[in-house]
Amino acid sequence: DYDRSGFARKTFKARIELADTSYSQDIEYLVAQPVIKVTTGNAPTLYMNCGNTVNIEVPTLGTDYNPSFGSGGTAEIIKGDKPGKVTIIPKQRKVKVSVANGDTQIGVVDFDVKPIPRPRFVAKETNGKEVDMRNGVKRASLTGLRIVAEAEENFKQEVPKDAVYRIRTMDVIHARGTAPINRKTFTNENLELAAWRAQFRPGDQIVVDIKTVTRRTFKGEDEKVDIRSEIIRVPIQ
Kindly report, residue by residue over 124-181, the tens digit of the pLDDT. Answer: 998 899 999 999 999 988 999 999 999 999 999 999 999 999 999 999 999 999 899 9
pLDDT number for residue 167: 96
What's the chain's length in residues?
Answer: 237
Q: What is the mean pLDDT of the chain?
A: 92
With vertex at residue 214, the alpha carbon angle to CA 154 and CA 221, rounded to the nearest 5 degrees, is 90
Per-residue pLDDT tens digits for 186-198? 999 999 999 999 9
What is the bridge-based pairing of β-strands 45-47 and 104-114?
Answer: parallel
pLDDT at 41 over 60: no
The more confident residue out of 220 and 4 is 220
Backbone phi, psi, residue 50, to 5°? -125, 160
Distance CA 201, CA 179 (A): 13
pLDDT number for residue 1: 82
90: preceding bond cis by omega (within 30 degrees): no
Distance CA 38, CA 40 (A): 7
Contact 14, 25 (CB under 8 A): yes
pLDDT at 6 over 60: yes
Q: What is the mean pLDDT of residues 80-94?
A: 93
Contact 131, 230 (CB under 8 A): no
Distance CA 134, CA 141 (A): 17
Distance CA 152, CA 214 (A): 15
93 Cβ neighbours under 8 A, 6+ residues apart: 48, 112, 113
pTM of the model as a whole = 0.78
Contact 103, 161 (CB under 8 A): no
Q: Residue 70: name the closest of 49, 53, 51, 56 by CA.
A: 56
Contact 162, 218 (CB under 8 A): yes
Count of alpha carbons within 13 angstroms of residue 144, beta-carbon side: 10
Burial degree of 66 (CB within 10 A; 0-12, 13-18, 19+): exposed
